[in-house]
A = this chain, B = another copy of it.
Amino acid sequence: MIRLDSTAPRFAADFTALVNARREADSDVSRDVAMIVGSVREQGDAALHAFTSKFDRHDLNATGWRIERSATRAALDSLDPELRAALELARDRITTYHEKQRPADSDTTDAHGVRTGARWNAVDAAGLYVPGGRAAYPSSLLMNVIPAQVAGVERIVMVTPTPDGEVNPLVLAAAELAGIGEIWRVGGAQAIAALAYGTDRIAPVDVICGPGNAWVAEAKRQLYGVVGIDMVAGPSEIVVVADGRNDPEWIAADLLSQSEHDPTSQSILLTDDAAFADAVADAVDRQIGELSTAEVARRAWDANGAIIVVPSLDDTIPLVNRLAPEHLELAVDDPQGLFAQVRHAGSVFLGRHTPEAVGDYVAGPNHVLPTGRRARFASGLSVLDFMKRTSFLALDPAGLAAIGPAAVALATAEGLPAHAKSVSIRLPTSP
């Protein structure tokens, strides 16, 4: 953890270093991924079988290529009732929130009789990657599949690795609760390639979403353009803006809820109260020891944690906008004034009683958010990621007469005579 004071002479340089720090593991996976993608494109299911044997240590022909509906039904039936109720609450609230994201079509006719507009359609098929093992989160499954369902995607395909052939019952239960009927037992870059290009067994999709390890992320990046993807994801982060009137134990828990995700996760406290900063730092150190995730949380906090003391809370705003954090908590009595000045953040949590973790699960907004300063230009996952817009234009002879000559002039100036002719040939005075 580093501690900075925004009035110190070196602060500008230290903060810039914090902003620019690359937390990504610098492993060179791109060549491996290109090889895997190429193999799946050329050899299809045979490559899937071989890579699954190698990386997940099971024989797809023995374990089965698909996870059948009977298995997901059984997982949901045997789910703890409290957990089932929690998942149902999450599903319903996430659905309600995302239904407001459905875009409106437009259709306008102007004074010349020129009709223009736009119509939105869902993609035909979406692929959802669900990690295996420790990072297999039923909450992520819901956050990814619900926007696609609200968009109206007809075919939703899930792929998930089952290392050593073992499935994760909680994930299967969530899949059943979400109504996912097509689940393939494949993972890694090979699963992404199969979704993008299709194989004999797995029909291709149009958009691929969902979290994954570095290989999965790199495969999505390489196949962006062949298919649509949700985003380029990186390590996760939280910035907490808090005055001295918070309970340091609450804020420490918030910081640790980010740190426990991954050693690359980043938690930053911005406060105008140096004594409160000390108290939070102490509380973090004490709480870490109580966590079953202590090892990860300690590595993340030690390497990437930061506490920055500023003269006044208004001074946090330029810092927040430079950091463009995935998650931002504004733990003050009246957060609205600060929030109005925030330009770049994935999701904002307002007030003292809004821990970020509620947003991870049940509040409604999506928890798939832009990381690594990408909130400067990117948004969280939404219904729009599973839809696309077709613009349209309709002219009658009068409308063409009104605006066609300008098109002829520009096409001619650009040296495109067939463009000009396709318009002029339809004009009444055309030679």
Contacts and interface: CB of A to CB of B under 8 A. Distances in A.
Contacts of A270: none
Interface string A385-422: 00011111111110110011111011101111111111
Contact of A391 (B85, B253, B365, B414): B365
Contacts of A423: 355, 357-358
A422 B346 contact: no
Interface residues of A, number: 122
A356 interface: yes
A339 B82 CA distance: 48
Contact of A225 (B101, B232, B345, B414): B232
A354 interface: yes
A413 B287 CA distance: 20
Q: Max chain B CB contacts within 10 Å: which of A339, A349, A414?
A: A414
25 contacts: A85-B406, A86-B405, A90-B410, A114-B364, A206-B376, A221-B225, A227-B377, A253-B425, A257-B418, A297-B418, A347-B393, A349-B393, A349-B394, A350-B392, A351-B394, A351-B396, A353-B396, A353-B400, A357-B420, A361-B406, A361-B411, A362-B407, A380-B389, A382-B389, A384-B384
Contacts of A409: 82-83, 86
A232 B183 CA distance: 29
Given A253-B422, A348-B393, 18 more contacts: A89-B403, A100-B106, A114-B363, A137-B414, A257-B416, A257-B418, A257-B421, A260-B416, A291-B417, A349-B394, A357-B422, A357-B423, A358-B407, A361-B411, A362-B407, A363-B395, A365-B391, A365-B393
A351 B353 CA distance: 57
Contacts of A134: 415
Q: Max chain B CB contacts within 10 Å: which of A96, A250, A379, A419?
A: A419
The 9 A-B pairs at the shortest CB distance, nearest first, are namely A225-B232, A228-B377, A86-B406, A350-B394, A365-B391, A256-B418, A253-B422, A379-B389, A357-B419
A359 interface: yes
A138 interface: yes
Interface of A: 80, 82-83, 85-87, 89-90, 93, 96-97, 100-101, 106, 108, 110, 114-116, 118, 121, 123-124, 134, 137-139, 170, 206-207, 221, 224-225, 227-228, 232, 247, 249-250, 253-254, 256-257, 259-261, 287, 290-293, 297, 335, 339, 342-351, 353-366, 369-370, 374-380, 382, 384, 388-397, 399-400, 403-407, 409-411, 413-423, 425-426
Contacts of A221: 224-225
Contact of A170 (B97, B362, B393, B413): B413
Contact of A425 (B115, B206, B249, B377): B249
B395 A366 contact: no
A392 B134 CA distance: 28
Contact of A116 (B97, B116, B342): B97
Contacts of A254: 422
Contacts of A350: 115, 392-394
A228 to B, nearest CB: 4
A426 B390 contact: no
A348 B107 CA distance: 13
